[in-house]
Structure 1
């Protein structure tokens, strides 16, 4: 009765997600003289070991279960064990060995009926093989096959996995609303508790990652909260907790809770390091670098980006924006041009375009910046995600300001501010206020410009983002220095560029007499006698 009781206790612990207790009970029974666990119990042991982070223990249990099924002539059962061996080994980075197990499972199915559920599970391996070779039509066909087999056999695990695979592919093809709808459908099975723990964790993380990729912060926040609850209900859980920490950090970053976000990213890095998940650690380090860059901790941000690259994750566009912040404009431009040339699908391009606009404008590549902003706007309209629409509006405002079109810049900056405010993103709201202030200034409304820039300064100071605060303060100081109006500053900058009065009049659509009057006012306000002295004053006081 003792062994039977222990096995029953192990099953009960497994059902209540107490992986440590289930693992301990099963290993205890397995160590008894003359006792050997059955195949079903070995699968339970393997799952508990995986969820505790004991990958070696998981693989050993799966290998034993496979051998038991083979010896008993239970081919389909052996295929299940081989499937999991391939999956676990691939996750651990042993792709060649994992592929070998997938191939063995495929060979075992050669004499089995065509329509068996196990063929659907092996399609998971086929899907990732198609992705690795860039065969996206093949991957789409495989995902549809997975969904069809799962439907026929009423298997929620395979169905949810198939929906996730198909949904992500649709998103990368630009059909984001359709893709997200399939991911929502997969999440219904998770929320209803119908999935086994490993598939549930995979679906959770795939869903949130997809939302982050298209800046669908509302969905990402809701599902991150749910994932956190799911992880917290399993105190001994190791897999998925690193991803959960990253996603919590991303939401905290959106809300400008930077110290808390950094703590989550650091926690994720520790968890990934323990699990040996290098590429995932690279993502966490990139996110950490982005926060440090925003806060002005540039050396620390550079170190984070370098560490991320060392793990095989390209930390862009953050690294290019850091180059820009440090004045290395040509290097930043080269990086964003390369990235845009290499990146074809609209989802990944949408993550690059906003940063590219800022870099290209700094390099006076106005036409390229305008094209990038328009492309981002088109993508945002197609995807419909609030964060992406806000980012696109901000970029359009930047381009309009560069083109001296304050009416359009004001309109787009206000849209960006409203959308970021809906998402409770105070840093982005303050950045939009800066653009509103700059637009007011070009329209000659100096009082309103000062109010917006001052409000932005206060927000940046409260958030502890020194670079943005300093830039806003520079705008306040620069434009108000000497008491010059926005138009007078425009005239002075054109004088400094070597333009004659007639050329300035033509550029600004003014009369020569009006330009001369502006110059007289400039000389009087700056207390200088000539054009040369005015330009010298402007340079000395950073007005140019």
Structure 2
């Protein structure tokens, strides 16, 4: 088998380092045709050699022109421009996009890859907050891709249209379009680079829509996609960044730190898009643990990417006893940020404005957060809104009304398997019960919160947990957060909190995975939780169902139609 043939085989099997080695050897020996140069470029980009890969894409473009294959030359020009955007070189990117447009315009026949030309325009409109213009561009890209048989432009168009619809408030249609784009990826219709782009964009958009179920599902799918491609660098760092966010959300803070550090390493090796998330997520855990100097450094590293590390940095200032600085930081950021990211900061805004003494601003942010629930019907958003309302009502001196909302929020965090947020609710519940004269309930809530804070290592929250002064954080789940506790005696669970009788939704998932033969470690990886949390879930399951073994739990799952 010739070296060139081995390179093509390695590329087809997605063994990217082998493809780079074989193609490079063949190129040095006898040169490569344009299509193989393009595949060598792609292999380099995927293994972290973005700069060299872009240079080879330019070479492939020129080779296609020399061969008279103008549509392929246009495609190469577009992807050269797209990769330059990801490398932070907008001027060079614009030049390559202009070249691609000129080639397509000069063709006597319709170009198969014309839809790709509309993707950058759609992205520009999306990033500037013009959802209508973005929807128009991406619709055209998808239509051209389907009509002319280019799966990449069709899928990227569907992805962008979904993002635009979510921006415009059409959540259900937008999320359905994201799922449609992902189907094209998972069935293998899409080229490697656009497939990675779609994975990461879908997960990010799910977080912006507070859709944790989809975020979990597609992060796990991305995880498996990356694992199936040895030595993949591009997109792998972003995968670890998303893993870190989910681990943090579910209280697996050590695992979150490990994933964040892996994301940073992969960012250094070439996946630049993972830089922000790798450092931001690390900073979040450091802040929650009380390591403020380390958190400061992590947030500063994240800020070097050009995106503000908020609300984390503002919450750090609040934790340092500087509410006015926190207020200024968050106000400045929210004044000029994309609406999708702005809404992730509203809960923190409520807390910070109250701490800084501006109750009117806090109330305005709380109302904006509550209004979002009418268009984004997601448990996490409802929990944040209810917790924010309870915090404002507590400040306004209405503990009875705050108590009702806070119990509802606690129930939602419980169903989302969010230990820190649930504990914060219980801490504030303790304070409210004490104000209302229910000292026994106050003691029970305070002890439950203290146990969770201690287990997580949440030193600042633990230190603030006193009978008369309790932290009320309705925001640490944010950014783009989660571990069940014993049921509150007065809490009314949401309809979706329990299934199969006594089991919560998370416990049902654990039973299903046990019945599939997964170990505790496998289950922890699948659900982005710690092994300790898996063991606790199993203990709760065995107690609730009167079982004593995994085999008995498996039998229960089959008898009750859970698998």
Distance in structure 2 (CA, Å) of the matches to 1:337 and 1:56: 37
Q: Which residue of 1 aligns with 2:100?
A: 105
Shift of 1:217: 1.7
Q: 2:346 aligns with which of 346, 349, 353?
A: 353
| 2-structure distance, mates of 1:113, 1:139 | 28
- Native 8 Å contact 2:426 2:449 kept in 1: yes
**How far is 1:55 from its partner?**
2.1
Q: Which residue in 2 is equivalent to 1:333? A: 327
Count of residue correspondences: 471
Q: How far off its partner does 1:251 sit?
A: 0.6
The alignment status of 1:378 with 2:375, answered yes or no, reads no
What's the CA shift for 1:453?
A: 1.0
Bigger relative CO (Cα 8 Å, ≥ 6 apart): 2
Check conservation: 1:245, 1:268, Cα contact below 8 A.
Answer: yes
How far is the alpha carbon of 1:136 from its aligned partner? 4.4
Which position in structure 1 is the counterpart of 2:185? 190
5 Å-filtered alignment, 1:290-305, equals: 290-305=284-299
CA distances 1:108-130 after superposition (whole Å, capped 9, x unpaired): 12222574322111112322344
2:408 counterpart (406, 411, 415): 415
Matched, 1:256 2:258: no
Q: Which moved more, 1:456-465 or 1:79-88?
A: 79-88
Corresponding residue for 1:451? 444
Q: Decide which of 6, 12, 17 is 1:15's aligned counterpart.
A: 12
Whether the aligned pair in 2 keeps the contact of 1:453 and 1:472 (CA below 8 Å) is yes
Distance in 1, Cα, partners of 2:311 & 2:467: 25
CA contact (8 A) 1:285 1:304 kept: yes
Residue 69 of structure 1 and its aligned partner are, at CA, apart by 1.8
Residue in structure 1 matched with residue 25 of structure 2 by the alignment: 28
CA distance in 1, matches of 2:354, 2:56: 58
**Equivalent residue in structure 2 for 1:429, among 422, 427, 441:** 422
1:296-321 deviation digits (Å, cap 9, x = unpaired): 11111112122222332211111111
* Residue 245 of structure 1: how far off its partner (Å): 0.7
Cα deviation for residue 443 of structure 1 reads: 2.1
The 1:57–1:365 alpha-carbon spacing in structure 2 relative to 1, beyond 3 Å, is closer
Matched, 1:317 2:314: no
Please state if 1:91 is matched with 2:75: no
Counterpart check, 1:6 vs 2:15: no
Query: What SS is found at the alignment partner of 2:464?
Result: helix
Query: Structure 2 regions of 5+ residues with no counterpart?
Result: 472-563
Deviation at 1:415, TM superposition (A): 1.3
Deviation above 6 Å: which 4+ runs of structure 1? none
Q: Secondary structure at the match of 2:179?
A: helix
- Larger helix proportion of the pair: 1
Cα 1:16–1:409 change in 2 (3 A) is same
In the superposition, the TM-score normalised over structure 1's length comes to: 0.82
Q: 55, 65, 68: which is aligned to 1:70?
A: 65
Post-superposition offset of 1:133: 5.9
Q: 2:135 aligns with which of 116, 140, 148?
A: 140
Instruction: Give the match's secondary structure for 1:234.
Output: coil
Q: Residue 427 of structure 2 contacts residue 470 of structure 2 at CA under 8 Å; is this kept in 1? A: no
Matched residue SS, 1:12: helix
Distance 1:208 1:133, change over 3 A: closer
Counterpart pick for 2:220 among 225, 230, 255: 225
Q: Distance in 2 between matches of 1:389 and 1:132?
A: 26
CA contact (8 A) 1:453 1:476 kept: no
The Cα offsets for residues 447-501 of structure 1, whole Å up to 9 and x where unpaired, read as 11111111111111111101111112353899xxxxxxxxxxxxxxxxxxxxxxx
Name the TM-score, length of structure 2 as normaliser: 0.80
Counterpart secondary structure, 2:189 = coil
Ranges in structure 1 where 5+ consecutive residues have no aligned partner: 479-544
Helix, strand or coil: the match of 1:31? helix
Cα distance in 1 for partners of 2:235, 2:384 equals 29
- 1:417–1:29: structure 2 CA closer, same or farther, 3 Å change rule? same
CA RMSD across the alignment = 2.1
Distance in 1, matches of 2:11 and 2:271, equals: 25
